[in-house]
A and B are shown apart, each in its own frame.
Chain A
Amino acid sequence: MSSGDEELAKDLGPLAALTIGVGTMIGAGIFVLPGEAAAEAGPAVALSFIAGGVISMFTAMSASELGTAMPKAGGSYYYVNHALGPLFGSIAGMGNWMGLAFASAFYTIGFGDYLATFVPLPTVEVASLVISQSQIGALLAGTAFVVVNYVGAKETGRLQNVIVITLVAILTVFSVLGFMQADLSTLKPFFPEETGGAAAILPGTALVFVSFLGFAKITTVAEEIKNPGRNLPLAIIGSVAIVTTMYAIIMVVLMGVINWDILGQSETPVLDVAEIGFGTIGAGAIGVGLLTFAGLLATASSANASILASSRINFAMGRDKLISPWLNDIHDRFATPYRSIAVTGGFILAFILIGDIKVLAKAGSVLHLIVYGLLNIALIVMRRADTPEYDPDFTVPLYPIVPILGAVTSFGLIAFMKPIEIGLAVGFVVFGFVWYVLYARTQTTKQGVLSEYVLSRRDRIPDPAVSAAETVKPDGGEYTVMVPLANPEHETDLITLASAIAKARGGTVEAVHIATVPDQTSLEYGAEHLDEIDAESQELLDQARADAETFGVDVETHTILSHESFEEVFDAARDHEADMVVMGWGEDSHGSPGRAESTLDDVTQDPPCDFLVLKDRGFTPGHILLPTAGGPDSELGAEIAKLLGAEYDSDVTVLHVGDSQSEAEAFIESWAEEHDLDDAELIATTGDVETAIEDAARGCSMVILGATERGLLERLVSGSLVMDVVDDIACSVLLAEKARDRSLWERLFG
């Protein structure tokens, strides 16, 4: 994908990003909850909203930093999974998903409330279950929202902006007119004794926190936002600031016009106040109509955004194999993640039947609060681990105070919930944990930054932490070694090497014959020579199968027809989700060196998995030389050396060329120890690197080189690999290049 196309894929500007946040949040607090909120804390509930805004702001800042560092679909879930690993990822993902479903049920019941004010809806009794008018409305609306998202009815960007701007405008007029009717004495006592006075503020926040569940949804579409480094923090932090201000003002207006006690008993307090406010200009009925319209718009856009966000979280979880990829199929005609939407829709409809909006609101909040708390911890972990890929454009001010406060206040607010909601929160954490242990752990291969951090510093970190990290480490996913074959001469050596690796890692071998079709003869060649290619392919792959089976390794075979075989290797590695590619390198192996292909630049900079490239002079791992200068590629080299050493009982010699003898010795000793190569012979020396390698290689039968300095693959393809050392050594050379994130790659080479 060219950079121009990537720009096209990002079409959410700052206003659109802001309106996602504002549009999702406005709705709950103002249109659905003010009655319940007033009953909870009286006029002081305005402070409850401000407290909610402050708690959200801490997390909003953390989410902004994580979002600019990792603008990936999935948002909060993705950051937690990436930083804290799949155990917490499972908890956050499930929590976020179900939290959104609870919140959507809450929004749709709010929609039903407003619908019921002007559409005659029946109340239905099924056995002992009474389904209220609001619930009937909610079930109808919920079904409609799910269907709209299922078929993916086309929404234009402007529509969303128009909806949110209309909402804000109606609420502003409402506030102004209401404010003129407000009487400060109605607000007294500000802390009524009946609700517990000032102590009711935080329980009030626990109830109304559902009004703030929109800002994090912006991060779930981070990949679609233009210039995310600037617009993402602007939208997240801006939307929290805007809605907090609006909530506080409107609460004061509502309770300044109608006494909180009376307001608390109303089904739709906003409409009551609108009637009085607009009544002064002789437009009471219009006011009620406008606010009803606004209430429907607001709750509908909140519900809709939540359904969309949950499908993004499903996708991100599926990508990390924490849930079945079945859920994330794209519909043949509608191009929507229809299964994910249908399943989420099922949950929403089921939750609507629970009916109690307070329970639904708090259930949604509690699950989000767990996610927000974990998100703040994820930020601290990312900062502590300080991986080179982590390079946020926006950084939280006053680190570490902000994320610590974010985590403490998010988790702390849960304490102000009722025991049933706290029980629900605990239940979900346990569910996420059990889900991970029983399902996800066997599937996912992704390890969190935290666990890598702990396991890579096992000497300095207390044993219990290390063993805990080891216990929960993912063990899933079949390890696949792909072997692209071109030249029959080297087939046996490549398959042998690949099988040894697959065997050691309990994986399988995929032998792929990439039949190159000359450019000029394109199609006709392919068609006319298909039989010929087939026969050649069959022979090669049969041999590969036989060779791999001598190792007792499972093997699969494929043939791919292509112009550009090197690019095809990358495509195939991606398609087959290979963990490692073992390929040959020579005049006639894969693409002639020196061929300039514009598309190749793109692919070779981004190896989709670990690569081992064998300059084959016979597969003889009797005595392996491993020159190292540190770095991830040497690490891969060390793994392979260890693995071959164990399989073939080979001797391993580690070589490091340093600036001074003492420095070289110190480096090599600590490096060998770190990579469990204590038994290897260690050579530390100074001087010319290539000469040193050549000298040391004389007594060896195989050399494993990490692609330390620049992209190995890139140089192989462009023909710029000037490593005399490879030609001057008589034995086989194995070049190792580790897969890594594109961001790091770009930073180092791009």
Chain B
Amino acid sequence: MDRLLDRVLLPVASQADAEATAAAIDGYDIGETVAVHVVEKAGGAPDKASVQQREEAAIEVFRVLREALDRPIETEIRYGTDVAEAIFEAAHEIGASSIVVTPRGGSRWIRLLTGDVALSLVTETDLPVVVLPDVDREGDTEEVVDDE
């Protein structure tokens, strides 16, 4: 097994994201998987949604991922004002060998509004980041970055 995929951190943002991620990593020889969901905090203002509501949603996301992967995974909920930063922090703390992301594209507008976490993950990283194509988005390859 490639050591890069020994202990992989999978950031998952939503149920659809979990499904896309599971489909994307299908077929790769991945060792241990730690799924991380980051609850974005406003850092001093009320959040977009109740923290507990986000935590409950995260449990659902993990459940979808577990069912899609059909194998045991570790899961973790993290909190942070900067989602990418929280993911890096988690990756170091759990001793991840790499972060595996499946960017789900979307229009410029959507990416602007949601902060394009995938881009931050790739550009600000100090850990290997493996970017996998979103297999569900057929024929829409322009936004997919292939990893060596």
Contact = CB atoms under 8 A, between A and B. Distances in A.
Interface of A: 1, 5, 8-9, 11-13, 16, 20, 72-74, 149, 151-161, 221, 223-224, 305, 308, 311-312, 315-316, 319, 328, 330-337, 517, 522-523, 526-527, 530, 560-563, 574-575
Interface in B69-114: 70-72, 77-81, 106, 110, 113-114
B145 interface: no
A530 B79 contact: no
A20 B80 CA distance: 21
Contacts of A526: 70-72
A311 B49 contact: yes
Contacts of B16: 332
B32 A523 contact: yes
A153 B57 CA distance: 19
Given A151-B113, A315-B53, A526-B71, A12 B46 contact: yes
Interface of B: 13-17, 30-33, 39-55, 57, 59, 63, 66, 70-72, 77-81, 106, 110, 113-115
A411 to B, nearest CB: 29
16 contacts: A5-B78, A8-B78, A8-B79, A11-B42, A12-B44, A72-B52, A73-B52, A156-B45, A157-B42, A160-B45, A311-B49, A315-B52, A332-B14, A332-B16, A332-B17, A523-B71
A223 B50 CA distance: 8
Given A5-B79, A72-B52, 20 more contacts: A5-B77, A16-B44, A149-B48, A151-B113, A152-B49, A152-B113, A155-B42, A155-B45, A221-B50, A308-B46, A315-B49, A328-B53, A330-B49, A331-B14, A337-B50, A522-B31, A522-B72, A526-B71, A530-B70, A563-B72
A16 B45 contact: yes
A305 B71 contact: no
Contacts of A221: 46-47, 50
A513 to B, nearest CB: 13
B64 to A, nearest CB: 11
A153 B52 CA distance: 20
Contacts of A223: 50-52
Best-buried of A74, A332, A523 by chain B (most CB within 10 Å): A523
Contacts of A156: 42-45, 81
A483 to B, nearest CB: 19
Given A8-B79, A151-B113, A156-B43, A522 B14 contact: no
Contacts of B48: 149, 152, 334-337
Top 6 nearest A-B pairs (CB, nearest first) are A157-B44, A73-B50, A152-B48, A8-B79, A330-B57, A526-B71
A159 B81 CA distance: 14
Among A308, A333, A563: residue with most chain B CB under 10 A: A333
A568 to B, nearest CB: 9
Nearest to B113: A151
A8 B41 contact: yes
A600 B17 CA distance: 28
A336 B49 contact: yes
B77 A1 contact: yes
Nearest to A161: B44
A158 B54 contact: no
A20 B46 CA distance: 8
Contacts of A331: 14
A563 B110 CA distance: 38
Nearest to A331: B14
A526 B72 CA distance: 8
A560 B115 CA distance: 35
A575 B63 contact: yes
Contact of A224 (B47, B70, B110): B47
A13 B59 CA distance: 27
A333 B106 CA distance: 10
